Amino acid sequence: MARPLSRAYTCTFGAPVIAEVDPRIFQLTYFAACMDCTFCSDACCQYGADTELPRVAALEKFQPELEAYLGVPRSEWFREDPEDFGTLDEPEYPGGRYTRTQVVDLPEGRSEHNEWACVFLDPAGRGCRIHRFALERGIDVHTIKPMVCLLFPASFDKGVLCPAYEFDLEDELVCQGPGPTIYRASRDDIRWYFGDDMIAELDAMEPEYAGQPAIPGGRAIPLPTVP
Ligand code: SF4
Ligand code: SF4
C-alpha cells in the first residue's frame, strides 16, 4: 500500500508530481549493475519506452549527428504515426504528451531473451545508444533520454513512486533477484528529477523496510551499504 509523503514533490521538468511512495521500492531487488550484466542482453529494452515529447524535441536538436551515430533516420526513431502508437496525452509526463520509441528486429544472436528491441538499443554490443551518445559528448543524459528509462526500475503512477510494472509480472524482469533495492539503484536519478528534500525523506523512510520481504513469505533483503 502506498505511503503518503510529507508533501508533494514536483519533477524538475514540471511533471510528474509525487505525493506517495510504494514501500516495495525499498524491498524489491535486482542485479542493477546493468553494463556488467552477462545474462540480460538488455531485455528490459525489448518493448521500447514511453518518451515525453520534450525529450523528442531535445533529441531532434542533435538530429543530423544522431542519425549518423545510429544509422537510423529521424523518421524511424519513434512510433508517432497515428496508425501505429501516435502521440497521446499523459499529464504525468513532462510536457503532458508522449509517444513511444520504435521497436525493431535484433540481429540473430544479439539476445537469448527477445528477437526485437528499442531502436536506440545497440544492436551489436550492449546498452542504450542515447545514453552513450550523451556520455561521449558531455551532455547530461537526463536532458535527452526518456525519463522512464532513467528511473527504471523505479517508476511512477498517479503520483506514487513505485516499482516498474515488470515486477508485478512473473518472470518479466530477467534481472530480478539478488542485488540492491530499486530505491538504492535509482536514488541518484530520483534525486536529479525530484531534488534533495525528497531523497532526505525517502532515506529516512528506508530503514523501516530494510530486511522485510516485499512478498509475504519471501526472502528478506538486508539494507545495502551505499555511501
Ligand atoms: S535493468 Fe536488468 S535487464 Fe535492464 S539492463 Fe539492467 S540488468 Fe539488464
Ligand atoms: S531509449 Fe534506451 S534505455 Fe530506453 S528502451 Fe530504448 S534503448 Fe532502452
Given pLDDT bands bounded at 50, 70 and 90, which one contains residue 223? very low
pLDDT value at 9 more than 70: yes
List, in order, residues 6 or more apart from 190 with CB less than 8 Å away. Answer: 151, 154, 161, 183, 198, 199, 202
Q: Whose CA is nearest to atom 8 of ligand 2?
A: 45
pLDDT at 214: 78
Q: Is residue 224 part of a domain?
A: no
Given pLDDT bands bounded at 50, 70 and 90, which one contains residue 216? low
Q: Is residue 215 part of a domain?
A: no
- Grid coordinates representing 138 are 558531455
Q: Does the beta carbon of 121 lie inside 6 Å of ligand 2?
A: yes
* CA separation for the pair 49, 149 (Å, rounded): 7
Residue 222 or 6, more confident: 6
* CA separation for the pair 26, 105 (Å, rounded): 35
Looking at the CA of 102, which ligand is closest? Answer: 2
Q: Is residue 220 part of a domain?
A: no
* Total count of domains within the chain: 1
Query: Could you tell me the CA-to-CA distances from 42 to 31, 80, 114, 204 in Å, in that order?
Result: 12, 24, 9, 32
Q: Whose CA is nearest to atom 4 of ligand 2?
A: 149
CA 212 to chain CA mean position, Å: 24
pLDDT at 219: 54
Please, which residues bridge with residue 155 across strands?
Answer: 162
* CA separation for the pair 184, 181 (Å, rounded): 5
Handedness of CA 85, 88, 91, 96 (dihedral sign): positive
Q: Is residue 75 part of a domain?
A: yes
Looking at the CA of 36, which ligand is closest? Answer: 1
List, in order, residues 6 or more apart from 136 with CB less than 8 Å away. Answer: none
Q: Ligand 2 pocket test: pick from 55, 128, 155 the residue with the most ligand atoms within 8 Å of its Cβ.
A: 128
Residue 205's domain comprises 3-209
User: What DSSP designation does 186 have?
Assistant: H
Residue 46 alpha carbon to ligand 2 centre in Å = 9
Average pLDDT rounded to a whole number, residues 137-157: 98
Average pLDDT rounded to a whole number, residues 141-145: 98
Average pLDDT rounded to a whole number, residues 14-32: 97
Q: Which atom of ligand 1 is nearest to the CA of 127?
A: 5
Residue 7 alpha carbon to ligand 1 centre in Å = 32
Q: Is residue 137 part of a domain?
A: yes
Return the amino acid letter for 89.
Answer: D
Q: Is residue 121 part of a domain?
A: yes
Average pLDDT rounded to a whole number, residues 18-31: 97
Q: Is residue 27 part of a domain?
A: yes
Q: Is residue 174 part of a domain?
A: yes
How do residues 90-138 score in pLDDT, each as one tens digit? 999 999 999 999 999 999 999 999 999 999 999 999 999 999 999 999 9
List, in order, residues 6 or more apart from 178 with CB less than 8 Å away. Answer: 29, 31
Whether 49 contacts 118, CB under 8 Å: yes
Average pLDDT rounded to a whole number, residues 57-86: 98
pLDDT value at 218 more than 70: no
pLDDT value at 224 more than 70: no
Residue 174 alpha carbon to ligand 1 centre in Å = 8
pLDDT at 222: 46
Q: Does the beta carbon of 44 lie inside 6 Å of ligand 1?
A: yes
Residue 75 alpha carbon to ligand 1 centre in Å = 27
Whether 8 contacts 19, CB under 8 Å: yes
Q: Which atom of ligand 1 is nearest to the CA of 37?
A: 7
179 sits in the region (left: phi over 0; alpha: psi -120 to 50; else beta) called: left
Instruction: Kindly report which listed range (26-30, 108-112, 166-170, 204-208) carries the lowest average pLDDT score.
Output: 166-170
